[in-house]
Amino acid sequence: MNRSTDFIPFALPSLDRREEEAVLRVLRSGWLTTGQETLAFEEEFARAAGVPFAAGVNSATAGLHLVLEALAIPPDSLVITTPYTFVATAEVIRYRRAHPLFVDINDDFNMDTEKVLRILKDPALARRVSAILPVHLGGRACDPEALSRAGEAAGIPLVEDAAHGFPAAQGGRLLGTFGAAGVYSFYATKTMTTGEGGMVVSRDEELMKKIRLLRLHGIDRDVWTRSRGGVSWEYDVAEVGFKYNLTDIAAALGRVQLNKAQDFLAERRRIARFYRDNLGDVEGLILPRDCPEHSWHLFIIRLNRPGLDRDGFIEKMAEAGIGCSVHYKPLHLFSYYRRTYGLKPQDLPRAAEFFHQAVSLPIYPGLGEEALHRITAEVRRLVQG
């Protein structure tokens, strides 16, 4: 394949010998499951996040579920959330037999804070709300400060789905650290990866104790602790828990990636700047607002020219050797949520409208200038028709 037709994938993990060596070290150590690597990863992550507690889990989905379990979200209660997200955000609410109360989005694809405040001012509705679960979409802060203040005033916990939020911030404070708990994803395409994995952070010691207990079958002492010399084999099962622990293999990967997180962020910023500098003048294109504290997990453009079909655009990009993606199909357009809650596209009109316009462009460390020129030239050509 010649250079100009090399396929540019939508996403690529950034791994080198340091990750390989870290994983090999664990493979040769004789201890593969949750152990000292996970403990070290948790400590290092908590330090980086500026919180006292962090618990490694095998996915962000598991982490979000654990938080809702530990908060004892009651069945039939309402959890305020966004339709503009990956399905994991709402599915964990259903695990508790509670219901998502979808709130439409603002210009940044995030849940509209004003609409949340209106819900909380309605006593009949607010009484049924058991949590607020926003997403920092693509790595842009969803206004967690205002949401946590409103939640506190109403006695409702804020749980941040910070799957895209590392290491983004609002006012210098890491996203995911504003509420009762925050959850990060280390899925393969995220801003740092362990293949599959996640991290729960909190300042609430009791909540974190519960999360740690539920993370591994409700067992009071994990295998690592029991395997240390002088510690009895015996354990109690104190709760009905889950199998959500992180392996030491994944944690070893995570520790190396965490060390590189600021370099990764600089790379993502470079690419976001390139897109803004090279696409800012294209009519019919809406770019994400600039933001110095963004994680730039995603760079979502909106096609805003009548007659310009989003799916056709993505197909043409693929024909030109450029992988793009769509984040996200709003949850109220999926059959389960339509059927269960009787939702129609126009019930959350902005989410539905933005979905039809949204295209995610490639953004990851190592994406070079030549590739970026190819991408922006093709976007310009297709949008300008």
Ligand X SMILES: Cc1ncc(COP(=O)(O)O)c(C=O)c1O
The letter for the amino acid at 101 is L
Smallest separation, CB 270 to ligand X (Å): 23
DSSP single-letter state for residue 174:
E
* CB nearer to ligand X: pick between 259 and 325: 325
Catalytic pick from 190, 209, 329, 344? 190
* CB nearer to ligand X: pick between 276 and 350: 350
Smallest separation, CB 165 to ligand X (Å): 9
Measured on CA atoms in the order 49, 53, 59, 61, is the torsion positive or negative? negative
Token pair, residue 346, equals 């126009």
* CB nearer to ligand X: pick between 59 and 282: 59
DSSP single-letter state for residue 139:
G
Contact 152, 220 (CB under 8 A): no
Maximal CA-CA distance, the chain: 73
Distances (CA, A) of 214 to 66, 70, 222, 350: 7, 8, 11, 37
The letter for the amino acid at 289 is R
Smallest separation, CB 183 to ligand X (Å): 7
Smallest separation, CB 9 to ligand X (Å): 17
The letter for the amino acid at 193 is T
Q: Judge whether 210 counts as a catalytic residue.
A: no
CA neighbor of 189 nearest in space, from 169, 163, 167: 163
Q: What are phi and psi of 56, to 5 degrees?
A: -75, 140
- Residue 302: CB partners within 8 Å, gap ≥ 6? 285, 286, 354, 357, 358, 359
Contact 151, 184 (CB under 8 A): no
- Classified as helix, coil or strand, 106 is coil
Smallest separation, CB 231 to ligand X (Å): 32
Residues near ligand X, by CB under 6 A: 59-61, 85-86, 88-89, 135, 161, 163-164, 185, 187, 198
Smallest separation, CB 25 to ligand X (Å): 24
Give, rounded to a whole angstrom, the gap between the first and last alpha carbons of the chain. Answer: 27
* CB nearer to ligand X: pick between 57 and 372: 57
Token pair, residue 18, equals 């340091």
* CB nearer to ligand X: pick between 184 and 274: 184
* CB nearer to ligand X: pick between 61 and 148: 61
Give the whole-angstrom CA distance, residue 18 versus residue 256.
7
Catalytic positions, written as ranges: 190
